[in-house]
Structure formats: structure tokens, C-alpha cells
Structure 1
Amino acid sequence: MKNQLNILKDLSKYRSPNEMDSYFEEIIGLLKRDRRALEISRLRKGWFKEFQEEFVPAYIFSLSPYFPEGAKTKIIIGSQNYDFVVLKPDGVEEKYEVSSYIDGEQEVEIAKSLNKDGIWSSRLRSYEQLEQNTAIYMEETKNNIRKKSMKDYTGISLLFSVTTFQFSPVVDTRPEFSVENLISFIRNTTFRAKHIYLIVQDGKDSHTVASKIIKVK
């Protein structure tokens, strides 16, 4: 297990967007070849938690139109009120905090099922149940945004991330659960932060998701 955890020994270092892209593909390739490492990553043990929850959003942001030309980025491991920094060519460093609602119990359940059987069943039995799950996810996402709005992030930009692909039949047809509704909620919420961005993980590849990052305010 020690060898698998060492896969991410170079996780926190400055990288250009191309270097972020190469590093991401390198890690994904290693996980595909090492089943034990893949199982550990699903359980988010060691730095795999930071890889999924901090590096991946920073990587996606580095591919976006909002990433400064010629800049580099790295995630910051440890306890602070920001997750990654962007170093501009002029030496100015910008700080970013990543946030998303994560159902920890469900994540562990999915990981254990995939590690044991290679598949996971969502237990969904009806469209009504999918609607209910969507409503819960969106409300918990808004609760998470409210909590962030109560903290002082002066000089730091917030990067919210939402995952919608599993809820797409509802998100695409119910305005109250739409991404547009969530954007409106963020716009109407007061923050002590520099900028607010939204990443929408809709099942597309990283480059496509990055190209559609929304700068809300």
C-alpha cells in the first residue's frame, strides 16, 4: 500500500496548464494499470483525497479561459482557508478555495462496491426518486454555499463545483433544480471573497468542462 500512496509524492508543485494536463493523465494511467492504487484512490486514502477534491478542480481551472496566460498553479496541502494558488508571470500569487457538497457515506458505499464487485447500483427505482435525490443534492449544495458565505475569504476566490450528470433528466427539465437557478442563488448571496466561479461536472471531458466554467461574480 505504501507504494501506491507514493504515486502522488509530487502532487503539490507549480505546473503550467500543459504540465497539469500531463500529470493528470499520468496519474490516471497509473491507476488504470495498478488495481490496488485504484481501490485506494476510490476510498480517497492518503493524498488521493486532495487529488480528487483539490487537484482536479485546480487542473480544470487551469484549462479555463479565466486562467492567466503564462501562469502556473499548485495545490496547497495542509490546513488553511485556500486550496490552490495561481502564480502569475509578474510574481503575483492568487489564492483559490474549492468547495462542493459531498455525500461522504454514499461515496464510501460506491467505492466499496466498485472495489468488491466492479459495479455499483444506484438503487433508483423511479423518476420520482431521481427527482427527490436531485432536490436533496441541490439543497445541500446551497447549504454548503451558504456556509461558505459566512466565512471571510477576503482576497481569495471561491470555486464551487457541482456534479450534474447523474441528475441530468431532472436538471435539464425542472427550472427549480437547474444550473441557472443555482447561479441565480449564488449571485443573490453575499460573499467576502474576490471572485466566485462555478464548475459544472456534466459528464464531459475535462477540457470541455473547463471551457464552460462560469464566473458568477
Structure 2
Amino acid sequence: MFVLIAFWTSYYGRLSAPMDFEVHFHGITMTLWSIMLIGQAFFIRFKKRKLHHFAGKLSYLLVPLIIISGFNIAHYTIQNVPVGHPARYYQAALMYNSIIAFAIIYGLAIYFRKNPKMHARYMICTILPLITPISDRIIYKYIPALVSYAPAADGIRMVPALGFLIGQIILISLIIWDWKKNKQFNAFFIVWIPLTIYHFSVLNFYRYPFWQKFTEWLMSLPLS
């Protein structure tokens, strides 16, 4: 629902309009991932184990495509920002590092695939690094008054920080719930580590010379 609301005017509502390959590639892969997560929840709920396992195997094909499309759309977007501008390095951390965090969490889900409860927790959390494309669009389009509450640095209004706050609230709530109900302090807390590092990187790395150099190296690659 939130995905449709966020991307209706910019993507789903104008599928017949001319759009670059990079936009469709990323849009299709992320739409398929959203459908897969919802489908997997239904398959587990209604004990459709064969369908669940089949969809899980399909993810081995889909996730590499998500990673490729993520790097592709990041390169495509960032190349339009001038070299040396803080927004170039901020967007690099926002887009590239979200894909890395997603890949780490998905990798943990696959590693624990024989432990259903752990596997499910990690799979649910794969959406957390990908919240900001949704939250940013909803805020800008429907709740613009919130933009002024986002932190600003070097002239950049960091609206994704509001999405990060949502992600942190969700994850910390899950950590507390899991501890109170199941006396477990593992999966959700482990996810909190790469997610928090990702959030820190977006809010801070754009100022660091090492990240600026790394970004320019990435942008020199033929990723789009």
C-alpha cells in the first residue's frame, strides 16, 4: 500500500510514459521483491510450504538482479550531481549502502534458512534499508511540513533521516518485543548493527575524503 502511494505519480501511474531502462529495471525488481515478501507471509500463514520453498528459490535469482539494478539506478542518478558537491557523496551513501545493507540482511536470512523463526525475522528486516525511497516521497508529496524537521548539513535537507527514524523505531520495537515474548536477543539486534552503520554513513560519510574518493571510483565504473 505505502509503495503504491509513494510511487504512483512517479512510476506506477505512468507506466505507459517513456522512461529510461534504469528506472524500469529497478522498479520491476523492487516490485517483485515486495510481492514476494507479501506472498511468503501468506504461504506461511496458510501452510503452503511448497510454494514458500519455490518462492525462496526464486529469490536466488531475484536478489542478484535487485543488487545489480540498485547499483545501476544509483550510478544513473548520481552521475547528474556535479563532482565535488556534497549531495553527490550523500546520495552515494544513501543509495549504494542501502543495497549493501539489504544484501547483508538477505544473506543472514539465507544462512539461517533451516531455522524458520530466525529466517523469517531476517527476511522481514530486508525491507528496512529500503524504507527511505517510500518515506521520502510520501513526506514530500503529502506531508511537506515535515521536511523542515529533517536535519540539514551543507545546504542538504536530509529528509531520509526521518525514514531512518521510522526504521529505528520499528526495529527497536521488534527487539524489545522479541526479548519480552521469546527471551531472544539475536536476529533483530544483529540487523540493527548494519542498519545503524548504514544510517550513520548517510548522515556523515559525505564529509569524509575517503568516501568522496571511493564514490568517484564507483562513478568511474560502467554501472549505468
Higher relative contact order (CA 8 A, sep 6+): 2
Q: Identify the structure with the greater helix proportion.
A: 2
TM-score by length of 2: 0.30
Q: Identify the structure with the greater strand proportion.
A: 1
TM-score by length of 1: 0.31
